[in-house]
Chains A and B, each alone.
Chain A
Amino acid sequence: MLEQGWVGGRRARFDTAGRVRGLVSHVGDQPVGAAAHVAVHRSTQPHALIGAVHTEDALAMPGVYAVLTGADLYKQFGDRLLTGPAFADQPALAHEKVRYVGEPVAAVLAADLATARAATDAVWVDYDELPPVYDLADALEGSAFVHDELKPSSVFGDLRHLRGVRDTNVNYTYTLRHGDAQAAREAGAHTVTGEFWAPPTHHVPIELPCTIAWVDAGRLEMLTTTQTPSYVRQTIADLLDLPLSRVRVTTRPLGGSFGAKMYDRLEPLAAALAWTTGRKVRLVASREEAFLLTTRHGAAVTSSLTADAEGNLVSSIADVRYDTGAYADVGPRITAKSGMVTPGPYRIDTAHVRSRCVYTNKPSAGPFRGFGVPQVTWSHESLIDELAHRLGEDPYAFRRRHLLREGDEAPMGTRMHSADFVTCLDSVANAIGWFEPLERGSGRIRRGRGVAVGVKAVLTPTIANAVLQFNQDASATLLISTVDMGQGSDTIMAQIAADVLAMNSERIHVVRADTDATPYDTITAGSRSTYHTGNAVRRVAQAMRDKLIALGAQHFEVAEADVELTPEGLRSGERTVPVAELVHGHFGARGATLTAEANFTTSWAPYDKETGRSEKVTEHWFAGAIGVQLTVDTATGRVHLEHLAVAGDVGRAINPALVEQQLTGAAIMGIGHALFDQLVLDQGQLVNGTLLDYQLPSIRDLPDKLTPIVVESPHDDGPFGAKGVGETGILGIAPAIANAVRDAVGVRLTTLPLTPESIVTALENKQEEES
């Protein structure tokens, strides 16, 4: 039974019951005592200069403590008010101009939230309208500019050349040049092209973002819903011009996030308000406000894929435009990391990608499960499917022939390791019965199958640290800054440490992130924690094992090599001493602790300036595949998923049950993105930003059968060979479904989501063309 809690064991996550029953308390559940509750007055213009902000009426309302504007904060903080992970372009409150409908313009502090919200309605603003940049076309046409000049963060050397650039909405361009792709395309025998669109979407975690900030003895302390406590500490220290030691950021378990709660969300505003007023402040986003905090990038991809007469892939060309909205956020990083995999996980002779990050007057786009890769996977998995059809080849077999194998160099220059695309593809094809005859249907209901493959790089370089306190009673306290937001990180980190220490994983408590106590960790995102933090945890546990063995050697008076750590205790030959007894003997005290610490850091080779290539662009790869069998109702256009199989190469599953859940959860989220989930904007206004109108998959949208498949191709440097899995399952869902629709009814759709309306429209167009 002990092994259930070790590496490879299916231990249930420690907090399932508490999360389901509401016994795990979240940030929003914390009592705050006497605090100022903050509500935000938001812009009613997409792009305008701010004239006077009229706050008198709001201030006169009983219970209102203060009303602050962007100008007030700018007076206090100057340009430090502008923050962001790549560009310092994002003010906590709009300063001088507003850049999207719903942007925070003034903050009301009041005795309670209802009063604060009522008072925001009493604030009004004089605007001087500017020409709006509603979409990518407006932005690239280039007559109006969302930002007067580019302001890359001073932290990043690779963005330095962009500083001060004016008259553009393109804040970053990544270019990949591998061979002469244009010439290869012209010389090729078969070329397929496409104009692809993946819309902006929202994460919709169940828990709403909430931040509580206060000043304590000259320090800024904060309890907040964030995936990035270490980042937030740095940002707040920069904003307030404080040493890191005077900023404390703590978290509680998050109720889901998917990228929604990271980097600069409510935290800079909360810190600025607490610091300026000296009050404890509490900010919580309403569900409607949460839709405005960050979104997934809408992305347009114009692309082509070319084969020679023998069916070899000779050229991949793509122009990718990520709509990052009013603020760059992490868009430039997404633009590069996703742009580089736009050709897909295939052996292709040449590739040319231009990937741009573009400002528009929309809510800012930021990180979202998949980090921009699902948008380009939508392109490459549609193209290769169409090319297979064009060549009269089986889409599964055609992909399989061209997939990258172990040791192959991808078009962007990095070799493949522990990325078993072939096994992933084979397993989903087998699962959905690809090789068996298909009853296609002849009337209104038509049946089809589709597959898709996905590739994504892990965030690199990053840093992870772990501290382990081994308690005298043979329990342990693990200090890491990974944030458990439902993915189960606290459970698997305990499993890694328990495996090394041959102990019961339930006796290991994982301390939630607190920058005063838990060590630096880059972020909990990009599926990086299992590999990076997992390695730090493995190392810290090994260091602790070495300490225990050293104590054991002293105890037995033998060489360390003759001592073994077992579940029963330290053993040398026939002799065994329980760990508790050993540690008690060492310190002569109950309750004493042994401490160890460890670090794990990865490195990369930056992109070549000319070609965008790198021999090590990432520490490791995620490889996944999707297979789907579905029906299309040709009268209504509705898609019904009969079976969806999702496979991911995770290197080694630390906990197969949790891996299956991640694959399944990502697949369900992807089903929404494929079929109906999108943020609809009309002239800068979000028109479906409520849960009455926004579409998320419910239990009734799930496939009749959903099969998660764990593929294990161990990574040489992973903890026990493991890699992350949070995003692998989402990459190929939309194209797999679109490919199955193509198989079922013969129409190729290139715009997501695949609504019933878009399907019947395509069917009608096809009938017209045929007649």
Chain B
Amino acid sequence: MKLASEFSVPAAPDKVFALFFDPDTMRGCIPGCEQLERVDEKNYRGKLVNEIAHVRFSAGFSAAIQTISEDTETKEVTAVLKGEDRRLGSSIKIDARLAVRPEGSDSAVIGYEMDMALWGKLGRLGEPIIRRRSREIELEFARALAIACGAPEDKLPETKKKARPASTPVTLPAPTPDATTDSAAPTSTGGAVAVADPTGRRLAAAAVLTSLVALLVALLRRGR
């Protein structure tokens, strides 16, 4: 399965590119990333813990940097990412290429291409789910990265849709706490994070993809 997209962040390419190799920044940017450590110069490993639809899960992953080229105007890194969910007898492998190029004076475009293999039980039903869920992750990641680059948080759109439809209690007036609060939360992007291709926006950065394994686990355990 091939995925590709690009989006802008409000920082110079040098700065953005360096952040990719900083475990602390990435841990904060990758949705659900609880552990991320640099094993050596080329290798990272971590753990994703996430909660979707009230189900908590965790999955281990590793990332191995294959090539880095940062001398040209467009900086590029390629990496292989792997994750495994034993309970579901499934593994994931992603060949990722991530590039950062300048856009105007103080802005950069992050582009990515992924070739993702999903093997095992999940592989036979994962594609539509992955393609859908990955958009959400891209938004979350892009927002977090923009903040890491110094963008003011309050000007960024909310990403995770906590919105619940307005409800009309008929027997007991007991809607959920957030049921009536932010139903108008924006779901489109704007502000400082400009997503270059709003309909095609899918994924943010290479490391993010490993969280897909975990997302799938949660989704399927919910049994939909």
Q: Which of B1, B89, B115, B127 contacts A44 (CB under 8 A)?
A: B89
Interface residue B74 (Cβ < 8 Å from any Cβ of A): no
Interface residue A46 (Cβ < 8 Å from any Cβ of B): yes
Q: Report Cα–Cα, A753/B208, bound state, in Å.
A: 36
Whose C-beta in chain A lies nearest to the C-beta of B1? A682
Interface residue A406 (Cβ < 8 Å from any Cβ of B): no
Which chain B residues border A684 with CB–CB below 8 Å?
117, 119
Knowing A45-B91, A121-B87, the reply to whether A687 touches B124 (Cβ < 8 A) is yes
Shortest CB–CB separation between residue A405 and chain B, in angstroms? Answer: 49
Which chain B residues border A42 with CB–CB below 8 Å?
89, 120
Q: Does the CB pair B119–A687 fall under 8 Å?
A: no
Which chain A residues border B90 with CB–CB below 8 Å?
44
Interface residue A685 (Cβ < 8 Å from any Cβ of B): yes
Q: Report Cα–Cα, A686/B127, bound state, in Å.
A: 11
Whose C-beta in chain A lies nearest to the C-beta of B125? A690
Q: Does the CB pair B127–A101 fall under 8 Å?
A: no
Chain B contacts with A in 1-36, Cβ cutoff 8 A? 1
Q: Report Cα–Cα, A120/B90, bound state, in Å.
A: 12
Interface residue B76 (Cβ < 8 Å from any Cβ of A): no
Which chain B residues border A121 with CB–CB below 8 Å?
86-89
Q: Which of B1, B87, B115, B119 contacts A46 (CB under 8 A)?
A: B119
Knowing A682-B117, A685-B118, A685-B119, the reply to whether A44 touches B91 (Cβ < 8 A) is yes
Shortest CB–CB separation between residue A630 and chain B, in angstroms? Answer: 31
Which chain B residues border A41 with CB–CB below 8 Å?
89
Q: Is the interface of A mostly helix, strand, loop or mixed?
A: loop
Interface residue B84 (Cβ < 8 Å from any Cβ of A): yes
Interface residue B123 (Cβ < 8 Å from any Cβ of A): yes
Chain B contacts with A in 48-80, Cβ cutoff 8 A? none
Which chain A residues border B124 with CB–CB below 8 Å?
288, 685-690, 693
B interface residues, how many (CB within 8 angstroms): 18
Q: Report Cα–Cα, A687/B86, bound state, in Å.
A: 19
Q: Give 1 or 0 for each of A102-121: 1 = CB within 8 Å of chain B CB.
A: 10000000000000000011
Knowing A288-B124, A682-B1, A688-B124, the reply to whether A101 touches B119 (Cβ < 8 A) is yes
Q: Report Cα–Cα, A121/B90, bound state, in Å.
A: 10
Q: Report Cα–Cα, A663/B119, bound state, in Å.
A: 39
Whose C-beta in chain B lies nearest to the C-beta of A57? B86
Which chain A residues border B120 with CB–CB below 8 Å?
42, 44, 101-102, 685
Knowing A682-B117, A683-B117, A684-B119, the reply to whether A120 touches B125 (Cβ < 8 A) is no
Q: Does the CB pair B119–A44 fall under 8 Å?
A: yes
Interface residue A124 (Cβ < 8 Å from any Cβ of B): yes
Knowing A44-B91, A45-B91, the reply to whether A685 touches B123 (Cβ < 8 A) is yes
Which chain A residues border B125 with CB–CB below 8 Å?
690, 692-693
Q: Does the CB pair A685–B87 fall under 8 Å?
A: no
Most buried by B among A46, A121, A685, A688: A685
Q: Report Cα–Cα, A44/B120, bound state, in Å.
A: 5
Chain A contacts with B in 37-57, Cβ cutoff 8 A? 41-42, 44-46
Shortest CB–CB separation between residue A362 and chain B, in angstroms? Answer: 12
Q: Report Cα–Cα, A41/B121, bound state, in Å.
A: 11
Shortest CB–CB separation between residue B136 and chain A, in angstroms? Answer: 22
Shortest CB–CB separation between residue A60 and chain B, in angstroms? Answer: 15
Chain A contacts with B in 406-437, Cβ cutoff 8 A? none
Q: Report Cα–Cα, A41/B120, bound state, in Å.
A: 11
Q: Does the CB pair B84–A44 fall under 8 Å?
A: yes
Chain B contacts with A in 84-141, Cβ cutoff 8 A? 84, 86-91, 115, 117-120, 123-127
Q: Does the CB pair B86–A124 fall under 8 Å?
A: yes
Chain A contacts with B in 165-205, Cβ cutoff 8 A? none
Which chain A residues border B118 with CB–CB below 8 Å?
685
Which chain B residues border A686 with CB–CB below 8 Å?
123-124
Q: Report Cα–Cα, A121/B87, bound state, in Å.
A: 5
Shortest CB–CB separation between residue B166 and chain A, in angstroms? Answer: 35
Which chain A residues border B84 with CB–CB below 8 Å?
44
Q: Report Cα–Cα, A45/B115, bound state, in Å.
A: 16
Which chain A residues border B86 with CB–CB below 8 Å?
121-122, 124
Q: Report Cα–Cα, A748/B120, bound state, in Å.
A: 37
Whose C-beta in chain A lies nearest to the C-beta of B90? A44
Which chain B residues border A46 with CB–CB below 8 Å?
117, 119
Which chain B residues border A120 with CB–CB below 8 Å?
89
Q: Report Cα–Cα, A102/B120, bound state, in Å.
A: 7
Shortest CB–CB separation between residue B96 and chain A, in angstroms? Answer: 14
Chain A contacts with B in 559-609, Cβ cutoff 8 A? none
Q: Report Cα–Cα, A41/B123, bound state, in Å.
A: 16
Shortest CB–CB separation between residue A325 and chain B, in angstroms? Answer: 15
Q: Report Cα–Cα, A686/B126, bound state, in Å.
A: 11
Shortest CB–CB separation between residue A567 and chain B, in angstroms? Answer: 58
Whose C-beta in chain B lies nearest to the C-beta of A686? B124
Q: Report Cα–Cα, A102/B91, bound state, in Å.
A: 12
Shortest CB–CB separation between residue A629 and chain B, in angstroms? Answer: 36
Q: Report Cα–Cα, A288/B123, bound state, in Å.
A: 12
Which chain A residues border B117 with CB–CB below 8 Å?
46, 682-685
Chain A contacts with B in 671-709, Cβ cutoff 8 A? 682-690, 692-693
Shortest CB–CB separation between residue A474 and chain B, in angstroms? Answer: 56
Most buried by B among A44, A46, A689, A693: A44
Q: Report Cα–Cα, A693/B127, bound state, in Å.
A: 12
9 contacts between A and B (CB under 8 A): A42-B120, A44-B91, A101-B119, A101-B123, A288-B124, A682-B123, A683-B115, A688-B124, A693-B125
Other A-B pairs beyond A41-B89, A121-B86, A682-B127, 19, CB < 8 Å: A42-B89, A44-B119, A46-B117, A101-B119, A101-B123, A124-B86, A682-B117, A683-B1, A683-B117, A684-B117, A685-B117, A685-B118, A685-B123, A686-B123, A687-B124, A687-B127, A689-B124, A690-B124, A690-B125
